[in-house]
Chains A and B, each alone.
Chain A
Amino acid sequence: MQPLIKDMIRVTALTRTYGSFKALDAVDLSVAPGEFVTLLGPSGSGKSTLLNLISGMTEPTAGKIEINGKDATNQPTNQRGLGMVFQNYALMPHMTVFENVAFPLRVRKMPKSEIETRVRDVLRLIQLDHVADRKPKQLSGGQQQRISLARCIVYRPSIILMDEPLGALDKKLREDMQLEIKRLHAELGITMIYVTHDQEEALAMSDRIVLMRKGRIEQQGKPEDLYFRPDTLFTADFLGSSNLLKGKINSTARSLDTAYGTFPLPTARSDEPISGEAVLMIRPESMRLVSDKASAPGAGLEATVRDSIVLGSFVRHFLELPGGKRMIVQEPSGASISRPARGSTVRIGWDLDDARLLPTDPDFQNV
């Protein structure tokens, strides 16, 4: 029996090298139909290389690419049936908006009347039917990117690749466009592969985030998995801010001996480090200020307040441990909030299982 959900895209041991530099190093990835997958990572992590390999604009050094169940490893770009949105929109400056959107349909030799209907429909879908006769340069950046989205949607590709599509837009517009892209994704059910280096964007938009580092997949999962249950220091550091305490595992007492005291370890996981050096990671919002040591759920770590600021719906305390190590604690705010005075001493606590024990990493020496 055929499996019900076939992979829309499956890459196996995909590798691309430039001289001795491994831009992509034996990556395996599957994308389900209708899924919104974000390739996240710093520049040079291989996320754009992976996207370009899927689109066919870059040839793989080794490995296999399957699109919709068929081997596409050596298929020319123009036969892969994909859609792609670029950061700089890539609209044809000499064509009107209408002609730009009609271009992929004309390539497909569609009858004129159908082109007309389809283009009008898709321009209405993105609420830009009134600019059909203008040139792209006469539109704002946000409008241009919506046109380039429309140019993809109009020929109904089963997969749309997006290469930092919102990178050139300002913050407000970017948030509007995120919603617009999510809406189109939900309405049309198109599989989307989205490349970005912006962690907030990745968290806000994705069904699944694939975090990349040095040409490999560091960790993948739902946004909340990556954020609250990182497996590595790199993941913890790349997504949001985190408090890190390095020490030596005491496996009999199930605690971590650090320069700032001994802390109990969270409930054991199968993949966590069991001996030697390790790092305890606690998100600022998983920490809170506690009144005395006895009631501290975590360790009751003592710290000096450097600053405490109200950021609307939450308060952020910037603290310093003896020895100068900095910690951030974030608590929900409210009308009755009272902030600790600068220079005063406070105690930090956290729920045992909100902490995460992570292996050390040579790239994160100064933890």
Chain B
Amino acid sequence: MSDTKPYLDRWTGLALLLPMAALLAVFFVLPLARTIWQSVYEYGFTLRAYEMLLTSTLFWKVLQTTFAISFTATIVALLAGYPVALHLSRLPPSRRMPYLVMVMLPFWTSILVKSFALIVLLGYDGIINNALSFISGQDIHIPMVFNRVGAILGMTNYLLPFMILSILSSLLTQDVNLGRAAEVMGASRFTIFRRITLPLSMPGVLAGVLISFTLSIGMYITPALLGGRQDMMMANLIDFYTRQTLDWPLASAIAVVLLFVSGVLVAMLGKVRGSAGMREMSR
């Protein structure tokens, strides 16, 4: 197809990109450059902020918490999302639509609203605890918010659509005849899942995991509202240095570290998506 003329010539293409590029330059690249600059410049070039970070117990603890919470939330989203995606992939398209809308619904809801809704649901006198008390006749107050469980539940709730859609898209590219062929050959449903469906859906699983993890490590509102005092994440730490101690170089340095980690993850994601295996399977 190399001899076909491109739909847009070079200059038209560039002209069309200009408004978006200008917007991003002013409101994204410039502040980002300033943040990076701020992390290394205080009355002259210095690595003080990074030195402080690397020697700070708080930073390492928060980094550890961030990874632990993000990892757990991602795994929970994977375990909860895979069966949903699998079920959706087996529905006829007309019946899949309403369920897909239900999966997408949280996408269209503000994360702040969702977090408060979860407090109403999971709180000390929340709907779930009240219902359990009513059923058992005892006073039940399972602590489900303002602790690690709350943070993870809130984040999983946010991550599920991303996870489900990634896995679903990979499941839908699978040839239905593969399962049929295996069934005729005598394979049980479990064997078909283990030997065919699951391995062929791995690109989707990996993409879902990477997206979820990348989104998780930058989360701010959900852990702040639903987590406990011990569950401070990187974004909350940045907020702390920006607004409480007013140490902007340090806040900037944390932002740069966070950006770097996310960047590495996004690069890995691109690799998974662009890999030959993925292309081959989604032919």
Q: Give bound CA distance, A108 to B277, whole Å.
A: 29
**Among A79-87, A114-122, A231-239, A316-324, which stretch is in contact with chain B?**
A79-87
When each residue 168-202 of chain B gets 1 if its CB lies under 8 Å from chain A and 0 otherwise, what string results?
A: 00000001011011111111100100011001100
Contact B186 A104 (CB under 8 A): yes
* Chain A residues within an 8 Å CB radius of B191: 107
* Chain B residues within an 8 Å CB radius of A78: 183-188
Contact A90 B185 (CB under 8 A): no
Contact A83 B184 (CB under 8 A): yes
Residue of B177, B186, B188, B277 near A88 (CB, 8 A) is B177
Contact B177 A107 (CB under 8 A): no
* Chain B residues within an 8 Å CB radius of A55: 180, 184
Contact A84 B187 (CB under 8 A): no
CB contact under 8 A between A93 and B200, given known A78-B188, A86-B177: yes
Residue of A nearest to B178 (CB): A90
Contact B187 A107 (CB under 8 A): yes
Q: Is B280 in the interface zone, CB < 8 Å from A?
A: yes
Q: Is A194 in the interface zone, CB < 8 Å from B?
A: no
When each residue 252-283 of chain B gets 1 if its CB lies under 8 Å from chain A and 0 otherwise, what string results?
A: 00000000000000000000000001001101
CB contact under 8 A between A94 and B177, given known A79-B186, A155-B186: no
Contact A103 B184 (CB under 8 A): no
CB contact under 8 A between A103 and B188, given known A93-B200, A93-B281: no
When each residue 45-87 of chain A gets 1 if its CB lies under 8 Å from chain B and 0 otherwise, what string results?
A: 0000000000111000000000000000000011111111010
**Whole-angstrom distance from the CB of A299 to the nearest CB of chain B?**
53
Residue of A nearest to B199 (CB): A94
Q: Is A92 in the interface zone, CB < 8 Å from B?
A: yes
Contact A92 B183 (CB under 8 A): no
Contact A94 B183 (CB under 8 A): no
Contact A90 B186 (CB under 8 A): no
Q: Is A137 in the interface zone, CB < 8 Å from B?
A: yes
Contact A84 B281 (CB under 8 A): no
Contact B187 A90 (CB under 8 A): no
Q: Give bound CA distance, A89 to B175, whole Å.
A: 10
Chain A interface category by residue count: 20 to 34
Contact A82 B281 (CB under 8 A): no
Q: Give bound CA distance, A92 to B177, whole Å.
A: 10
Q: Give bound CA distance, A80 to B180, whole Å.
A: 13
Residue of A nearest to B281 (CB): A93
* Chain B residues within an 8 Å CB radius of A283: none
Contact B280 A84 (CB under 8 A): no
* Chain B residues within an 8 Å CB radius of A86: 177, 180-181
Contact B175 A108 (CB under 8 A): no
Contact A137 B280 (CB under 8 A): yes
Q: Is A246 in the interface zone, CB < 8 Å from B?
A: no
**Whole-angstrom distance from the CB of A54 to the nearest CB of chain B?**
10
* Chain A residues within an 8 Å CB radius of B185: 78, 83-84, 103-104, 107, 151-152, 155
When each residue 268-311 of chain A gets 1 if its CB lies under 8 Å from chain B and 0 otherwise, what string results?
A: 00000000000000000000000000000000000000000000
Q: Give bound CA distance, A81 to B188, whole Å.
A: 13
Contact B183 A57 (CB under 8 A): yes
CB contact under 8 A between A90 and B177, given known A77-B183, A137-B280: yes
Residue of A84, A90, A94 near B200 (CB, 8 A) is A94
Q: Give bound CA distance, A137 to B200, whole Å.
A: 14
* Chain B residues within an 8 Å CB radius of A77: 180, 183-184
Q: Give bound CA distance, A278 to B27, whole Å.
A: 84
Contact B199 A81 (CB under 8 A): no
When each residue 100-136 of chain A gets 1 if its CB lies under 8 Å from chain B and 0 otherwise, what string results?
A: 0001100110000000000000000000000000010
Residue of B nearest to A55 (CB): B184
Contact B186 A81 (CB under 8 A): yes
CB contact under 8 A between A92 and B178, given known A107-B191, A137-B280: yes
Contact B181 A108 (CB under 8 A): no
**Residues of A238-284 contacting chain B, CB below 8 A:** none
**Whole-angstrom distance from the CB of B63 to the nearest CB of chain A?**
37
Contact B180 A90 (CB under 8 A): yes
* Chain B residues within an 8 Å CB radius of A80: 184
Q: A55-B180, A92-B196 are in contact. List 15 more A-B contacts (CB 8 A).
A: A77-B183, A78-B183, A78-B185, A78-B187, A81-B186, A83-B184, A84-B180, A86-B177, A90-B175, A92-B200, A107-B185, A107-B186, A107-B191, A148-B181, A155-B185
Q: Which residues of B contact A (CB under 8 A)?
A: 175, 177-178, 180-188, 191, 195-196, 199-200, 277, 280-281, 283
Q: Which residues of A contact B (CB under 8 A)?
A: 55-57, 77-84, 86, 88, 90, 92-94, 103-104, 107-108, 135, 137, 148, 151-152, 155, 161
19 A–B contacts from the bound complex (CB under 8 Å): A78-B184, A78-B186, A83-B184, A84-B180, A86-B177, A90-B175, A90-B181, A92-B195, A94-B199, A94-B281, A103-B195, A104-B187, A107-B185, A108-B186, A135-B280, A137-B283, A155-B185, A155-B186, A161-B184
